[in-house]
Amino acid sequence: MKKSTKKVEEAVVVEEEAPSISTPNVEPVTQAPEDVNLSIQDLTTALQIISVVTARGAIKAEEMAVCGALFNKLKLFLEAAAVAAEAAQAEVAPAEVAPAADVDKE
């Protein structure tokens, strides 16, 4: 009798959790410090940092969605802040009108 052998391959599926972005252990702040400011320039710098590190490949693929979402939120906020600043400046500074020319009639 002839024996037949079958080669069976088993597919092994390994489910992995997406690695989370680690954050340093930070003590919760119970009272806001008085001298802490966050300016528009600070947010602009953060936007530039995200742009640079993604261009250099310093962000892992699984972290790109989080970084991209933060980048988009910062960009929209800064654009809105620029529009608001322009509107506020237009309200404060009256339109400059050239003084009427003095014409001496002789």
How much is the mean pLDDT over the chain?
77
pLDDT number for residue 13: 47
CA-to-CA separations, 70 to 11, 45, 50, 73, 92, in angstroms, rounded: 38, 13, 9, 5, 32
Query: What Rg, from alpha-carbon coordinates, does the chain have?
Result: 30
14-23 residue pLDDT tens: 455 555 566 5
The confidence score (pLDDT) of residue 90 equals 86
Give the per-residue pLDDT at 79: 96
Give me the mean pLDDT over the 69-94 stretch.
Answer: 91
Kindly state the helix (H) or strand (E) to which residue 55 belongs, with its residue range.
Answer: helix 40-55
**Which amino acid is located at 51 in the chain?**
S
**Contact indicator for 50, 71 with CB cutoff of 8 Å:** yes
pTM here is 0.54
What pLDDT, on the 0 to 100 scale, is given for residue 35?
77
In whole angstroms, give the CA distance from residue 19 to residue 80.
33
Give the pLDDT mean for 19-34.
63
Residue, of 62 and 96, whose pLDDT is higher = 62
- H/E run at residue 89: helix 64-92
